[in-house]
Amino acid sequence: MIRKYFFSNINEARINLFRNKTRTLLTSLGIIIGITSVIILIAITNGARSVIETQLTSLGAKTIMLKPFVRTASGFSTGKGQSFSDNELKLIKDLDSIDYLAPIVKVSQEVNYRSISNVVALVGTNSDFSAINDWKTTSGSFITQNDVLDGSKVCVLGLTNSRRFFGAEDPIGKKIRINGIPHIVIGVLEPKGLTPGGRDQDDFILLPYTSLNRLLFRPDMSNITTVLMSSRSSEELEYAKFSIKKILRETRNINSGEDNFDLSSYEGVTKRILNTTKVLRILLASIASISLIVGGIGIMNIMLVSVTERTKEIGIRITIGAKSKDIVFQFLCESALLSLIGGIVGVLLGYIISQIASIIIGWPAIVSLTSVFIAFFFSGGIGIFFGIYPAFKASKLDPIMAIRNE
């Protein structure tokens, strides 16, 4: 009975609205524009957030940097101290929370190719360096684990050094002399460009760290003074840092507060940036929602006009037994249906325009189901809220005066 009552009122609301299609369309425009704006802005900001998260990940959102240091009398660290042993690195790499680990050995040496000679920054590392820094090669291949184990005399050039020594010539397979010892070029890294401070990120040469140790005539010494690591997820980063501290304190037999190493990560910066995008999304959606209020006022206005036009009909309904709640429900159904029609059209337009905008601006527009449900809920709520006053005004009409009025 209740179901039949509900659907009969919905059907009657549909008939009344489609009697004047032009007026219904114009009244819905405010809701359509509002919902379209909200969907587009949320989709674009969601896409921007996704791009930012990807870029932050590539810049080190899950990266942990481990460095040694000693404490001075003033309490400041010098940045120098005990290096990290292969055993310590193995224990850390075996942690479930650690995905990649790349030891770093840095030194500057003379590099020669034919008549060209330059002192270049050399970085000794392993195959995980590429994954941690999301740094791939544009040609050739990267250092492999076998290269590290064998101490192979191979190298990967940053783009600046590729151009410095080879110009337009393909360097793959060529030999350069590092500290007088020939090394085969196996790859060229993709360019990273300048840092905000103006430092050239492509001005270095990568080697297996074991090879670099031998080049420095210190094959039996640990020269690893920096270790880059990547946690399996950003959620596990803090646990990974805790586990690393525990391992190093146990292997070095030191207590908390006596650490001769430093752990740093970028999760604080990442969270602040992502929080900023969240605030921006809420702000833009709030601004777009103003048009929904304007659309709601338009619905209230047209429903008041409808009450005036249909006073005789309302009077007849009340006379033959319709209760005030029936009149209220009928007009609320009309205003809610009017708003929901605008919501459906708005969601469809919002999706289409956001995909077009995605192609133009060059990043994905992500229309989430949550934003669609919110749009429908909000549009229906707007229709009911702004239809309450006209509905109650209609229900309070005097039936005799209503029937006389035409």
| Per-residue model confidence as pLDDT tens digits over 259-298 | 888 888 876 666 666 677 777 777 766 776 676 677 777 7
User: What average pLDDT does range 297-318 have in this prediction?
Assistant: 68
Tracing tokens 């009928």 back to the chain, one arrives at: 330
Q: Are 293 and 33 in contact (CB under 8 A)?
A: no
Indicate whether 228 and 360 sit together in one domain.
no
Does residue 221 have a pLDDT over 60? no
Q: Give residue 216's pLDDT.
A: 77
Indicate whether 303 and 326 sit together in one domain.
yes
Q: Work out the pLDDT band at 222, boundaries 50, 70, 90.
A: low
Give CA 281 to chain center in angstroms.
12
Q: Give residue 2's pLDDT.
A: 62
Q: Are 205 and 157 in contact (CB under 8 A)?
A: yes
Q: Report the candidate in 318, 325, 328 with the shortest Cα–Cα distance to residue 393.
A: 328
How many angstroms separate the Cα of 115 from the Cα of each of 153, 155, 166, 177?
21, 19, 11, 11
Q: Which of 186-190, 195-199, 350-354 comes out lowest in average pLDDT?
A: 195-199
Indicate whether 387 and 304 sit together in one domain.
yes
Pick from 265, 300, 318: which residue ends a domain? 265
Q: Work out the pLDDT band at 229, boundaries 50, 70, 90.
A: very high
> Is the C-alpha dihedral spanning 184, 117, 221, 142 positive or negative?
negative
CA distance 85 to 62: 23
Q: Report the candidate in 388, 341, 328 with the shortest Cα–Cα distance to residue 18.
A: 341
Indicate whether 343 and 228 sit together in one domain.
no
- Residue 148: half-sphere exposure toward Cβ, Cα within 13 Å: 17
Q: Which of 6-15, 81-90, 276-285, 393-402 comes out lowest in average pLDDT?
A: 393-402
Average pLDDT, the chain: 80
- Residue 194: half-sphere exposure toward Cβ, Cα within 13 Å: 4
Range of the domain at 297: 2-55+272-404
CA distance 349 to 37: 9
Q: Work out the pLDDT band at 56, boundaries 50, 70, 90.
A: low
CA distance 128 to 143: 9
Which amino acid is it at 342?
G
Indicate whether 371 and 303 sit together in one domain.
yes
User: What average pLDDT does range 195-215 have in this prediction?
Assistant: 87
Indicate whether 332 and 278 sit together in one domain.
yes
Per-residue pLDDT tens over the stretch 67-84: 887 555 555 454 555 678
CA distance 376 to 388: 18
Indicate whether 139 and 206 sit together in one domain.
yes
Pick from 242, 265, 288: which residue ends a domain? 265
Task: Sort residue 66 into left (φ over 0), alpha (ψ -120 to 50) or beta.
Answer: beta
Indicate whether 203 and 311 sit together in one domain.
no
Pick from 265, 290, 307: which residue ends a domain? 265
How many angstroms separate the Cα of 195 from the Cα of each of 57, 64, 204, 368?
17, 20, 14, 35
Indicate whether 150 and 238 sit together in one domain.
yes
Indicate whether 277 and 234 sit together in one domain.
no
Does residue 86 have a pLDDT over 60? yes
Per-residue pLDDT tens over the stretch 135-177: 899 999 999 999 999 999 999 999 999 999 999 899 999 999 9
Q: Give residue 267's pLDDT.
A: 65
Task: Tell me whether residue 324 is exposed, middle or buried, using C-beta atoms within 10 angstroms of its C-beta: 0 to 12, 13 to 18, 19 or more.
Answer: middle
User: What average pLDDT does range 28-43 have in this prediction?
Assistant: 80
Cross-strand bridge partners of residue 187? 140, 156
Q: Report the candidate in 337, 349, 348, 333 with the shortest Cα–Cα distance to residue 379.
A: 337
Per-residue pLDDT tens over the stretch 103-119: 999 899 999 999 999 99
Q: Give residue 26's pLDDT.
A: 76
User: What average pLDDT does range 241-250 have in this prediction?
Assistant: 92
Cross-strand bridge partners of residue 155? 185
Indicate whether 74 and 179 sit together in one domain.
yes
How many angstroms separate the Cα of 335 from the Cα of each of 162, 266, 291, 294, 297?
69, 51, 17, 14, 11
Q: Regarding predicted confidence, which is higher, 395 or 362?
A: 362
Indicate whether 247 and 278 sit together in one domain.
no
What 3-state class would DSSP assign to 213?
helix
Q: Please count the structural domains in the chain.
A: 2
Q: Give residue 166's pLDDT.
A: 94
CA distance 83 to 211: 17
